[in-house]
Amino acid sequence: MRNLSEFVAPSKTAILVVDVQNDFCEPAGASGKAGRNTDAAMAMIPTLQRFLGAAREHGTNVIFIQTIHEPSTDSDAWIGRRSNPDAKNCLKGTWGAEFTGIAPRDSEPVVIKHRYSAFVNTRLDSVLRTLNVENIIVLGVATNVCVESTARHGFMLDYNTVFVSDCSAGYDQAAHDMTLRTHAMHFGPVATAQEIVDTWAATHSVAAAV
């Protein structure tokens, strides 16, 4: 089996930052107001901030995934999955749809998605192919829903897929842990942010500052 350094080589890798948005992370967001425990999501933000800083230093691509919901993409099937059809989150142009504690740089793509997987009816695959990406590092919220859906979909499209355990969070620790276990068994490596940063430091030179 290949070692972690091959899965995170900066020139061939992109980090997918999935749904780190107010409605999913902030206690005052839609998920928090609906009774979900957002403590884990908020707690992982400082680790994520440091990880993105290191990734940029090493020249790793960073792509932000942003959920946006609006009437034009909210199909009957999509709305019907909810126990409360009137529940709303990440509405276009609202505070809830904004990123939490992080922000893309001007050069970093933002991919808008309307379903759990960031590959469904989006430009993500095109962006990755254009950047000559072979490996994706997935992280964000919620571990067992949108992050997992994106990771599995990416693997099915033949991207090597790494899941970052401590830069992902859900609303249920058991579900979070099971997702990581399943990914490690069937889809690709699971690593902490520090393990990836240490791998970059040991095996890849720091990119020149721009």
pLDDT tens-digit map of 30-86: 999 999 999 999 999 999 999 999 999 999 999 999 999 987 777 777 777 665 665
Report how far Cα 125 is from the mean position of its chain's Cα atoms: 15
- The catalytic position among 23, 25, 90, 146 is 146
Torsion over CA: 176, 181, 187, 191 (sign): positive
- The catalytic position among 12, 113, 167, 177 is 113
Does this model's pTM top 0.85? yes
Residue 167 bears catalytic tag? no
Q: So what CATH class is 4-203?
A: alpha beta
Q: What is d(CA 210, CA 207) in angstroms, rounded to the nearest whole number?
A: 9
- The catalytic position among 19, 23, 25, 167 is 19
Residue 113 bears catalytic tag? yes
pLDDT tens-digit map of 6-31: 999 999 999 999 999 999 999 999 99
